[in-house]
Amino acid sequence: MAMQAPTRTGFERWQDGVSKAVSDVKWNSWDCEIQRAVNEYNRHLRGTSGYVPLDWQLIKAMLWVETGAHDPQWNAKPMQIGVSGDPGLASLLSGKEGGDLTLVPGWKRQLTVASVRTIPAYNIRAGIGYLLMRMARFEHRSVLDADPKVYEIGVKPGDSMDKMARAQGTTIETLRKLNPTATVLRPGQVLKYRKASVQNVIAGWHPISTTLIAQRYKGRRDPNYARKLDYALSLVRKGKAALCAQSS
């Protein structure tokens, strides 16, 4: 009696399909768009604390996992952000979770729910922006305004650091730094201050890995996501990329 071939798992069947991508140029169709987008984000974020330049091939591998050249969404939503039931796009565009800091300034007005769902270049940029938002660590910090002038204000009865900071458009931290000896306020005392505000800033970054991408970008919707991303990335690194004009 002939032995029956073992049943292949869903992950193995997926591997069979994506393995063909290495020799199929259709799977490289977004290479240049990915490279341009990644370069834009790397320039925008390179001054933030601890930022490690994003690898464009990692994003390409994400596209291979999310859709792939034979998926109907490849030509509209290759990164799948903005699909029905996905909260990622709303989180990115809300400006309440840090997306306003990770997005390249020139793209903020162009990325809308409608454009991200219909224009693949925008979908890629939104997907990268959301990924970076989920990888960033945010903190609220005192940030000085561009105005370099140092002002003075007299302390009045009943004043506190908090009350004076709010009234003068500055922060308690700024007042304390410019007046280190003013531990107790007295009427008539003169304090120095600069214009400042408390803002949400990028304080650092989680180390980007396939495992963390699976957790923070994809969530728990696909338990094999990290394995798929590792496999796709290995294929991407072996394959040939499309030839792209170098961006300045």
Q: Is residue 8 in a domain?
A: no
| Integer Cα distance of 208 and 89 in angstroms | 20
Q: Checking DSSP bridges between strand 190-193 and strand 196-205, what pairing results, if any?
A: unpaired
Q: Which pLDDT value is given to residue 85?
A: 84
pLDDT tens string 189-246:
999 999 999 999 999 999 999 999 999 998 767 899 999 999 999 999 998 888 887 6
- 108 and 217 co-located in one domain: yes
Helices (H) and strands (E) in the chain, counts: 11, 4
**Of 124, 112, 116, 129, nearest to 41 (Cα)?**
129
Q: Is residue 45 in a domain?
A: yes
How does pLDDT run along the chain (248 residues), one tens digit per residue? 555 556 778 899 999 999 999 889 999 999 999 999 999 999 999 999 999 999 999 999 999 999 999 999 999 999 999 998 889 999 999 989 999 999 999 999 999 999 999 999 999 999 999 999 999 999 999 999 999 999 999 999 999 999 999 999 999 999 999 999 999 999 999 999 999 999 999 999 999 999 999 999 987 678 999 999 999 999 999 988 888 876 54
Quick check: 173 and 20 in contact, CB under 8 A? no
Report residue 29 as tokens. 């169709």
Q: Which pLDDT value is given to residue 109?
A: 94
Report residue 140 as tokens. 């609220």
Quick check: 54 and 42 in contact, CB under 8 A? yes
Residues 6+ apart with CB under 8 A from 151: 168, 192, 193, 194, 195
- 159 and 132 co-located in one domain: no
Q: Which pLDDT value is given to residue 8?
A: 79
- 42 and 116 co-located in one domain: yes
Report residue 136 as tokens. 């960033």
- 38 and 92 co-located in one domain: yes
CA torsion through residues 140, 144, 145, 151, sign: positive
User: Residue 168's domain spans which residues?
Assistant: 146-194
Instruction: For the chain, give the longest Cα–Cα distance.
Output: 102
Q: Which pLDDT value is given to residue 10?
A: 85
Tell me phi and psi for residue 211, to 5 degrees.
-65, -45
Q: Which pLDDT value is given to residue 1?
A: 52
- 174 and 94 co-located in one domain: no
Q: Which pLDDT value is given to residue 38?
A: 98
- 55 and 158 co-located in one domain: no
CATH classification at residue 110 = 1.10.530
| Integer Cα distance of 153 and 185 in angstroms | 12
- 56 and 173 co-located in one domain: no
What is the tally of structural domains in the chain?
Answer: 2
- 150 and 120 co-located in one domain: no
